[in-house]
Chain A
């Protein structure tokens, strides 16, 4: 059976740059605060720049709201709640949300481009995942507005009032949708603060909200830094706080509201286990690892950042993973072929590099892909640490970057114990051909979301949230409504 050995005459074929067009995108040089459907200058007159992390250029200037501005926004929200929004029928509220969803769909390409410019994520992801999911989230909750009694039979669901919402920089528009849509569907009004590095798509959403004719004051967007968020959390006339972000800040918020009447939901960090058994569909599992940790540059709270691979297939899985990593392109987020975009900020890149250093110092074996990375901007190659133990720092602390720690295991019970052996509990992945094993693991893993033979799948109808220090409360689905209602 003689065959030719490798003949090296094939063809070198490289993808040409394929930049997404930005000429149709409308961005202002400077954005004020959005209160009562008006653009209002910040009382301190302070603005701060928002950067494109791929090239460190300034895109726009963003207003910095202080506690006076926050107070203005809360008052507007309260007035709108009492005089207008609480008096509308559920069907009418729903119609506004349907309208907003449709307008977002009409402007989806513009929103995707701005998201990639401001956040750093690849245009492929913002175009194919972030923006469609955000539109669909509004569409989904629009339909609940006049059906709340079905979600809570025999109860009389009523809105809480004014919700203060603080969102992170990793899925800016999607997180805004996750917060605003259910709150409005349930009859509340909203004061929302986007993350300081990614305010633009929330501000474009404000334009859409104004265009949709939503009554003034129902949604207010106040941009700023951590102090702006604190002002919202501490404002006495807020009934509900919803926060997505780091566990540390989540605890600060929870301490601030302890003893008050304010209800909270927190969606925090994670160190999720992605578990591959020897009977897994191996090639799809490798793809699942890639989706789990390199999707969105690893800036995902539910990232599968701890890989557990059964020892008897570890060598094969790691070899295939390394090969797969070589076809991941790190580069300009606006290039349609980019798989891994820019790290959102210098601070985050420094954090990731610090953990990489720790991983090396603690003795794990590092492997990074060989791809070129741009000389400007904040970029990090996809990184593996092999031979990691449960006690390594990089196996315990959330890195929030494209860095995967790999541990082996031998038995089902062992991996369940190790997967659960963490203060976090957001998500987990299970890869096996055996259905009965899947259900065993879903029953025993202490995680709010378990993905079997898939990873990082999101849908407006599917509830999302964590156990333990990954937070409490659920977003999405029927279960996501309860956070914004009082039931009597």
Chain B
């Protein structure tokens, strides 16, 4: 696909008023999700989680244990779904695939010199192919934030397009690292670039820096997806990652998806939560709803 070097012409250059976004987000947060809506919502959240471990000290043992939890969230209770996927480093993809064979849980891998993305194109392509060859269903790549902030949008676009090609059958999530982009205008611009370059999902963060997924940033990205859908009829998924550790916040994110994009996006095909500690909070809320009693973390397994 040939992209004009004057890449800016393809971008909307939409201006975003931050105070207005704060107010819109605050309004979403006054939605009251109770009873049946809460029950349904909590189960949806569980099924949308990408259970994640991305640490230097990850071992096969750690990954296997997390994979078990991924489809055994709380066996003492019936009707609990499994998560959507696990997310690991490329070196752990094989372990995860083995642990999750014959389940519906997908294996996502980070790549492109995650989290900083400060390396050559060759390295990033190799990193991606490694993960895909080992069976990753999804690739979570990082964009070159330095290049973005320096104004080389064409570079950012080209990189994403190249990685998308290297993904083959795997779906591509593009991590914008919104905490480094710092303004909502930049988040919007990066979203548009990623979508145009072929992203299947746009994702907020690596989870390695603060701030990660705020409602303001997620809102901005959902709006970019909506505008793209209105123009082309094509759906793109969204994944807020990092900072969503409570059920309340997760449900408010679903409210945003529902009211901005609509019910077609309310499935793990198009929306994910990148989270490590969210699942247990959701399980506790679910059990509280069913039993009427506030829960203790003693009764829910870690890993």
Given known A-B contacts A280-B15, A283-B223, A336 and B30 have beta carbons under 8 A apart: yes
> In chain B, what residue has the closest Cβ to A288?
B20
Asked if A57 lies at the interface with its beta carbon under 8 angstroms from chain B, I say no
Give, as a whole number of angstroms, the nearest-CB distance from B284 to chain A. Answer: 20
Hey, which chain A residues are within 8 Å of B20, CB to CB?
A: 281, 283-284, 287-288, 453-454
Within 8 A of B (CB), among A286-340: 287-288, 319, 327, 336-337
Complex Cα gap A11–B39 (Å): 13
Give, as a whole number of angstroms, the nearest-CB distance from B23 to chain A. Answer: 7
Hey, which chain B residues are within 8 Å of A4, CB to CB?
A: 234-235
Complex Cα gap A223–B101 (Å): 74
A6 adjacent to B263 (CB under 8 Å): no
Give, as a whole number of angstroms, the nearest-CB distance from A127 to chain B. Answer: 9
Chain B 214-250: CB-based contact to A (< 8 A → 1; otherwise 0): 0000000001000000100111100000000000000
Most chain A CB within a 10 A radius of its CB, from B31, B236, B259, B262: B31
Asked if A255 lies at the interface with its beta carbon under 8 angstroms from chain B, I say no
Asked if B269 lies at the interface with its beta carbon under 8 angstroms from chain A, I say yes
Hey, which chain A residues are within 8 Å of B233, CB to CB?
A: 5-6
Give, as a whole number of angstroms, the nearest-CB distance from B182 to chain A. Answer: 17
Hey, which chain A residues are within 8 Å of B33, CB to CB?
A: 15-16, 18
Asked if A8 lies at the interface with its beta carbon under 8 angstroms from chain B, I say yes
Complex Cα gap A18–B37 (Å): 10
A18 adjacent to B32 (CB under 8 Å): yes
Complex Cα gap A327–B40 (Å): 19
Residue in B14, B30, B230, B236 whose beta carbon sits within 8 Å of that of A3 in the complex? B236
Complex Cα gap A68–B115 (Å): 79
Asked if B41 lies at the interface with its beta carbon under 8 angstroms from chain A, I say yes
A337 adjacent to B31 (CB under 8 Å): yes
Hey, which chain B residues are within 8 Å of A16, CB to CB?
A: 33-38
Asked if A7 lies at the interface with its beta carbon under 8 angstroms from chain B, I say yes
Asked if B70 lies at the interface with its beta carbon under 8 angstroms from chain A, I say no
Give, as a whole number of angstroms, the nearest-CB distance from A369 to chain B. Answer: 13
Most chain B CB within a 10 A radius of its CB, from A124, A281, A319: A281
> In chain A, what residue has the closest Cβ to B23?
A287
B269 adjacent to A9 (CB under 8 Å): yes
Hey, which chain B residues are within 8 Å of A83, CB to CB?
A: none
Residue in A13, A124, A281, A283 whose beta carbon sits within 8 Å of that of B37 in the complex? A13
Hey, which chain A residues are within 8 Å of B236, CB to CB?
A: 3
Chain B 1-15: CB-based contact to A (< 8 A → 1; otherwise 0): 100000000000011
Residue in B30, B37, B262 whose beta carbon sits within 8 Å of that of A14 in the complex? B37
Asked if A282 lies at the interface with its beta carbon under 8 angstroms from chain B, I say yes
Complex Cα gap A18–B270 (Å): 28
A283 adjacent to B16 (CB under 8 Å): yes
Number of A interface residues, CB 8 Å?
Answer: 34
Hey, which chain B residues are within 8 Å of A288, CB to CB?
A: 20
Chain A 117-128: CB-based contact to B (< 8 A → 1; otherwise 0): 000000010001
Most chain A CB within a 10 A radius of its CB, from B23, B233, B236: B23
Complex Cα gap A128–B29 (Å): 12
Give, as a whole number of angstroms, the nearest-CB distance from B5 to chain A. Answer: 19
Within 8 A of B (CB), among A247-295: 279-284, 287-288
Complex Cα gap A12–B223 (Å): 20
Asked if A372 lies at the interface with its beta carbon under 8 angstroms from chain B, I say no
Given known A-B contacts A5-B233, A281-B20, A287-B23, A12 and B31 have beta carbons under 8 A apart: no
Residue in B24, B34, B270 whose beta carbon sits within 8 Å of that of A287 in the complex? B24
Asked if B50 lies at the interface with its beta carbon under 8 angstroms from chain A, I say no
Complex Cα gap A89–B186 (Å): 56
Hey, which chain B residues are within 8 Å of A128, CB to CB?
A: 30
Hey, which chain A residues are within 8 Å of B207, CB to CB?
A: none
Asked if B264 lies at the interface with its beta carbon under 8 angstroms from chain A, I say yes
Given known A-B contacts A124-B30, A282-B14, A3 and B267 have beta carbons under 8 A apart: no
Hey, which chain B residues are within 8 Å of A281, CB to CB?
A: 14-17, 20
Within 8 A of B (CB), among A1-59: 1, 3-18
A13 adjacent to B254 (CB under 8 Å): yes
Complex Cα gap A463–B71 (Å): 60
Hey, which chain B residues are within 8 Å of A280, CB to CB?
A: 15
> In chain B, what residue has the closest Cβ to A281?
B17
Residue in A11, A283, A319, A454 whose beta carbon sits within 8 Å of that of B266 in the complex? A11
> In chain A, what residue has the closest Cβ to B41?
A13
Hey, which chain B residues are within 8 Å of A12, CB to CB?
A: 263
Asked if B95 lies at the interface with its beta carbon under 8 angstroms from chain A, I say no
Asked if B62 lies at the interface with its beta carbon under 8 angstroms from chain A, I say no
Within 8 A of B (CB), among A125-151: 128
> In chain B, what residue has the closest Cβ to A284?
B20
Give, as a whole number of angstroms, the nearest-CB distance from A20 to chain B. Answer: 9
> In chain B, what residue has the closest Cβ to A324?
B259
Give, as a whole number of angstroms, the nearest-CB distance from A180 to chain B. Answer: 29
Give, as a whole number of angstroms, the nearest-CB distance from B251 to chain A. Answer: 10
Complex Cα gap A448–B271 (Å): 46
A10 adjacent to B16 (CB under 8 Å): no
Within 8 A of A (CB), among B141-163: none
B264 adjacent to A284 (CB under 8 Å): no
Asked if A92 lies at the interface with its beta carbon under 8 angstroms from chain B, I say no
Complex Cα gap A114–B230 (Å): 42
Give, as a whole number of angstroms, the nearest-CB distance from B263 to chain A. Answer: 4
> In chain B, what residue has the closest Cβ to A3?
B234
Hey, which chain B residues are within 8 Å of A7, CB to CB?
A: 235, 264, 269
Complex Cα gap A15–B58 (Å): 40
B198 adjacent to A1 (CB under 8 Å): yes
Asked if A71 lies at the interface with its beta carbon under 8 angstroms from chain B, I say no
Given known A-B contacts A1-B198, A15-B37, A287-B24, A10 and B270 have beta carbons under 8 A apart: yes
> In chain A, what residue has the closest Cβ to B271?
A10
B24 adjacent to A336 (CB under 8 Å): no
A3 adjacent to B200 (CB under 8 Å): yes
Give, as a whole number of angstroms, the nearest-CB distance from B48 to chain A. Answer: 10
Hey, which chain A residues are within 8 Å of B198, CB to CB?
A: 1
> In chain B, what residue has the closest Cβ to A14?
B37
User: Nearest 9 CB-CB pairs, A to B?
Assistant: A284-B20, A18-B32, A336-B32, A10-B264, A16-B37, A281-B17, A11-B266, A327-B259, A284-B17
19 pairs from A and B in contact (CB 8 Å cutoff): A4-B235, A5-B234, A9-B264, A9-B267, A10-B267, A10-B270, A13-B40, A13-B41, A13-B258, A15-B31, A16-B37, A124-B30, A283-B20, A283-B24, A284-B16, A284-B20, A287-B20, A453-B20, A454-B20
